[in-house]
């Protein structure tokens, strides 16, 4: 597609369940970012992938969060044993070059933990 695609657009799950969020970046973009936006907060950096380099995981809030990027394209963000404070909009972004800022964001996945 033309833009960054994220799925699902909405996810409601019970506390303690695992969730997987998917991001399909713009074709050819080597850099991929995950951010999240909690209610009333600015966007919070989670993780950054650039090509085949080791990802920058410094923004992941706990070891319940993990992400992978297969084949340099699609990325999956996994949250294990979800907690209510994980409720947020999870945004994926991509850009053409490395070391730079995200250029285009997806529409996000709105995650609600009951």
Partner 1 sequence: AQSVTQLGSHVSVSEGALVLLRCNYSSSVPPYLFWYVQYPNQGLQLLLKYTSAATLVKGINGFEAEFKKSETSFHLTKPSAHMSDAAEYFCAVSPTGGGNKLTFGTGTQLKVEL
Q: Return residues touching partner 1 (CB under 8 A).
A: 3-4, 31, 33, 35, 40-45, 48, 50, 56, 58-59, 91, 93, 99-108
**Identity of the residue, 33 or 82, whose beta carbon is nearer to partner 1 in the bound complex:** 33
Residues 6+ positions from 100 with CB-CB distance below 8 Å: 31
Considering the complex, state which of residue 46 and residue 82 has its C-beta at the smaller distance from partner 1. Answer: 46
d(CA 22, CA 53): 20
| Strands (E) located in 42-98 | 43-50, 65-69, 75-79, 88-95
Q: Which is nearer to partner 1, 2 or 84 (CB)?
A: 2
Strands 19-24 and 5-7: antiparallel
> CB 7 → partner 1: shortest distance, Å?
13
Closest distance to partner 1 from the beta carbon of 70 (Å): 20
């Amino acid at each position: 597609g033309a833009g960054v695609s994220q799925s699902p657009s909405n996810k409601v799950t019970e506390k303690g369940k695992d969730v997987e969020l998917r991001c399909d970046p713009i074709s050819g973009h080597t850099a991929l970012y995950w951010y999240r936006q909690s209610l009333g907060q600015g966007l919070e950096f989670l993780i950054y992938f650039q090509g085949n380099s080791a990802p920058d995981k410094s923004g992941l809030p706990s070891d319940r969060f993990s992400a992978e990027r297969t084949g340099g394209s699609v990325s999956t963000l996994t949250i294990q044993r979800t907690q209510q404070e994980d409720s947020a909009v999870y945004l994926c972004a991509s850009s053409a070059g490395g070391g730079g800022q995200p250029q285009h964001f997806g529409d996000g996945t709105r995650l609600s933990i009951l």
